[in-house]
Amino acid sequence: MAKNRFATGRCSPVTDLLGIGPKKAEALHGIGIDTVYDAALHYPRAYENRGDVRTVSSIVSEAVCSLVLTVANRPSTVTIRRGMVLTKFRAFDETGSCQITYFNQPYIKDSVSQGETYRFFGRVKRVGTAVSMASPVCEPAGDGVSLRPFSPLYSLTNGITQKQMGAAVSGALTVLLSPATKDGIRESLPLTIRQKYGLCDIGYALRGIHFPESPEMLETAKKRIAFEEIYDFGILLRMAGTKEKTKTDKVFTPPPSGRLLAGVPYEPTGAQKRTFAEIDRDLASGFLMNRLLTGDVGSGKTLCAAYALWSALENGYQAALMAPTEILAAQHYDQLAPLLESLGYRVALLTGSTTKAKKNKIYDYLAVGTVDLVIGTHALIEEAVTFRRLGLAVIDEQHRFGARQREALALKGNGVHILSMSATPIPRTLALVLYGDSDLSTLDEMPPNRQKTDTYCVDETYRPRLNAFIRKNVEEGGQVYIVCPAVEEQDQIEGENGDPLSLNELLTADSFRAEKPRLKSAVAFAKELSEMVFPDYSLKLIHGKMKGSEKDRIMADFAAGKIQILVSTTVIEVGVNVPNASLMIVENAENFGLAQLHQLRGRVGRGSRKSYCILVSDSHAEEAKKRLSLMRETNDGYRIAEADLEMRGPGDFIEQRTGKVRQSGDFSLMNQAAGDSKLLYSALEEAAATLECDPGLNEEKNRETRKRVVYLREKNQFI
């Protein structure tokens, strides 16, 4: 009796599926599959396009495709050096013949028969007149046999094969989509929503996403499931963000801004003045402030933070500002201490490298209240730190702290106002959902003194001119960043059957044909530049695998002008202010998202020097060309964020919001909303509308959605 007959619903253990015993169940547990429902929702990470059938004569050099061939002779097996077993035979179609070879798969000789027809999928090579395939996937393709055009590829774990995973998923769908199953999968999106956006039903979507019979079926399934994942995510975040505001007796009287701004050498922008007013309303409301301030690099977030901090000090409270790195904390201290000390307040810097004696003094001063503002790193949340009267905490680059770390700072006082800051521009509609538990301020206007960084896109043929431009910038007193995508040397190795194609690659011919340029290694490139190209300059390397203290030291030396050229990975993406840096070069720029490229570009153009950003790429992929072209056209971070969302989907923004580092497959279908921001926003708007009418999801039409969001919350899928 097939074991999947014992499965009675979504909560049935995965061992109720055929072929899954205790050992395999233990392995599946490692990738979050414990129940039949988990298996049904384990979507493919990619697909093999086995439906791309070609003829032998059509192969020019090599291609990843299928050939439908008849076996010409009985397979022969020979053992060669070091015990390797080769199984070989010839097969043919009406246009020519092909040599088939399998390595260490002697069972193949018993799996194929002379005179029978099979579909062989893999990399086909032609050398002169000879056509061959090495270890292709082999499937019987005789008369009456129906073969699927796409074969799903799942994220696996040790002990589980693609065949076993596919069988488990198929068994799960059979059980859960059966009308006879009491606790099966039922339609969760109301008919009105499906009709409004042209979405298929859930049964068709699940069959289509796992075992598509055509590109059209795959696209239809993808759209439905992407919409539903975004819809569920919107509901989860909105439910988490609908908590009532906390009342407080920390009611601040708005101070006259002129006194603070008298020490600022420029007029605040309209966006900054609007943010001042929003902060004033929060702090005077009688409820604790929980505000997120987003703004482009250089938009003036620090002045807004200074305004909030000063307001707390003017109302008799202490304040704290926490930054993710020592160098960023030090830069905040250098900017804010002179301003606030000129107004009569005492400011201290507290980081991990602060001497023990100085730390003890700061602890004492904070406890008795003689230090009004402390600026620091994680050192602020150590147990030894106590405040006499903490009223406000500002958290810079808030997504780089865990929720517990942010909460730990707030708990240093009895009810503390919170202002969080992020230098990543986030499309407003998405931000309202992702940060539904925070009020939102957006600095969408740049100060008039902020100069534009000119951006250019070049390929490897420009290398001599690029090196000359680096030399020119250094000779004129500027400093240079060179960013590489990889730390160590990485060869892009393909398997015998070629790299599996992603969902988008299957549906985008340009991506299918695009070659992938080799990644520049920061370690190797820094060595080459320092020894062979710029031996006369001070050049250093920094990357994420270094110890934190070493990275901080190198960044501090660069900021102090001791290093002329800094070769780096994206570890320099945020935080450090080096006004003298005038040139940013990004190698293999096609490997970076738009938002990330914009953050990197924001590291230069922060001083009086004319600054440039050079994006180096040899990619011929149309999507890469489109991204790099947009970088050349605009410096508007919010426009770039909208485009990044549309091109790549919301996964990166979600990762920033949740702090969850994506594993293979996470958010994969949600990101298929890429290219259709209208679908994304529609799903978020429908989620908001659903909760407005039925906050508890108790109505009959929303009960299946309630089951799904409870499941996702328990699995910690999104938050």
pLDDT digits (tens, 9 = 90+) for 316-326: 999 999 998 88
Per residue in 223-282, pLDDT tens? 999 899 888 888 887 776 655 678 999 999 999 888 898 888 888 999 999 999 999 999
**Mean pLDDT over residues 2-16, rounded?**
74
Of 662, 520, 676, the closest CA to residue 590 belongs to: 520
Residue 522 backbone zone (phi > 0: left; psi -120 to 50: alpha; other: beta): alpha
pLDDT at 495 over 60: no
Per residue in 86-121, pLDDT tens? 999 999 999 999 999 999 998 999 999 999 999 999
More confidently predicted of 17 and 488: 17
Alpha-helical runs (H) found in 452-492: 463-475
Q: What integer pLDDT is reported at residue 66 of this predicted model? A: 96
pLDDT at 337 over 60: yes
Lowest-confidence pick of 15-24, 195-204, 454-463, 616-625 = 616-625
Q: What integer pLDDT is reported at residue 446 of this predicted model? A: 81
Lowest-confidence pick of 53-62, 196-205, 414-423, 647-656 = 647-656
**Mean pLDDT over residues 641-645, rounded?**
77
pLDDT at 39 over 50: yes
Q: What integer pLDDT is reported at residue 506 of this predicted model? A: 38
Q: What integer pLDDT is reported at residue 510 of this predicted model? A: 34
Q: What integer pLDDT is reported at residue 239 of this predicted model? A: 77
Per residue in 438-465, pLDDT tens? 688 888 888 776 778 999 999 999 999 9
Q: What integer pLDDT is reported at residue 502 of this predicted model? A: 40
CB 269 within 8 A of CB 447: yes
**Mean pLDDT over residues 328-339, rounded?**
91
DSSP conformation letters of 43-111? --SEEEETT-EE-GGG-SSEEEEEEEEEE-S--EEEE-GGG-EEEEEEEEETTEEEEEEEES-TTHHHH
Alpha-carbon span 261 to 339, nearest angstrom: 9
**Mean pLDDT over residues 121-131, rounded?**
94
Q: How confident is the model at residue 595 (pLDDT cuts 50, 70, 90)?
A: confident
Q: What integer pLDDT is reported at residue 674 of this predicted model? A: 45
Q: How confident is the model at residue 286 (pLDDT cuts 50, 70, 90)?
A: very high
pLDDT at 202 over 60: yes
Could you tell me the end-to-end alpha-carbon distance of the chain, in angstroms, rounded to an integer? 40
Both tokens of residue 274?
A: 């609007």
Q: What integer pLDDT is reported at residue 428 of this predicted model? A: 67
Q: What integer pLDDT is reported at residue 327 of this predicted model? A: 82
What pairs with residue 567 in β-bridges? 482, 541
Q: What integer pLDDT is reported at residue 656 of this predicted model? A: 57
**Mean pLDDT over residues 161-185, rounded?**
92
CB 386 within 8 A of CB 414: no
Lowest-confidence pick of 502-506, 510-514, 650-654 = 510-514
Of 438, 378, 375, the closest CA to residue 404 belongs to: 378
Q: Which residues contact 356 (CB under 8 A, 6 or more apart)?
A: none
More confidently predicted of 187 and 514: 187
Please give, one letter per residue, the 3-state secondary structure of 528-562.
HHHHHHCCCCCEEEECCCCCHHHHHHHHHHHHCCC
Alpha-carbon span 222 to 14, nearest angstrom: 25
More confidently predicted of 92 and 573: 92
Alpha-carbon span 368 to 85, nearest angstrom: 79
Is residue 669 exposed (0-12), middle (13-18) or buried (19+ Cβ within 10 Å)? Answer: buried
* Residue bearing tokens 């080096």: 578
User: What is the residue type of 86?
Assistant: L
DSSP conformation letters of 190-209? -HHHHHHHTPPPHHHHHHHH
**Torsion sign across C-alpha atoms 408, 409, 413, 418:** negative
**Torsion sign across C-alpha atoms 590, 594, 598, 599:** negative
Lowest-confidence pick of 206-210, 400-404, 592-596 = 400-404
**Mean pLDDT over residues 622-633, rounded?**
88
Lowest-confidence pick of 3-7, 78-82, 645-649 = 3-7
Q: What integer pLDDT is reported at residue 287 of this predicted model? A: 92
> Domains (ranges, CATH) in the chain?
1-47+155-185 (1.10.150), 51-147 (2.40.50.140), 190-242+676-719 (no CATH), 257-443 (3.40.50.300), 454-634 (3.40.50.300)
pLDDT at 492 over 60: no
Q: What integer pLDDT is reported at residue 137 of this predicted model? A: 93
% of residues, the chain, pLDDT over 90: 50
Lowest-confidence pick of 35-49, 156-170, 575-589, 645-659 = 645-659
Q: Which residues contact 99 (CB under 8 A, 6 or more apart)?
A: 88, 90, 130, 131, 132, 133
Per residue in 42-65, pLDDT tens? 999 889 999 999 999 999 888 999
Q: What integer pLDDT is reported at residue 243 of this predicted model? A: 57
Give the number of other Cβ atoms within 10 Å of residue 163's Cβ: 9
Distance of CA 58 to the CA centre of its chain: 40
Q: What's this model's pTM, rounded to 2 decimal places?
A: 0.65
Q: What integer pLDDT is reported at residue 665 of this predicted model? A: 39
Phi first, then psi: give them for residue 403, nearest 5 degrees. -60, -40
Q: What integer pLDDT is reported at residue 679 of this predicted model? A: 78
Average pLDDT, the chain: 85
* Residue bearing tokens 């929003």: 278
Q: How confident is the model at residue 305 (pLDDT cuts 50, 70, 90)?
A: very high
Alpha-carbon span 512 to 48, nearest angstrom: 12
**Mean pLDDT over residues 367-392, rounded?**
94
692-to-242, 424, 484 alpha-carbon distances in Å: 11, 29, 47
Q: What integer pLDDT is reported at residue 664 of this predicted model? A: 35
Q: How confident is the model at residue 81 (pLDDT cuts 50, 70, 90)?
A: confident
Q: What integer pLDDT is reported at residue 54 of this predicted model? A: 96
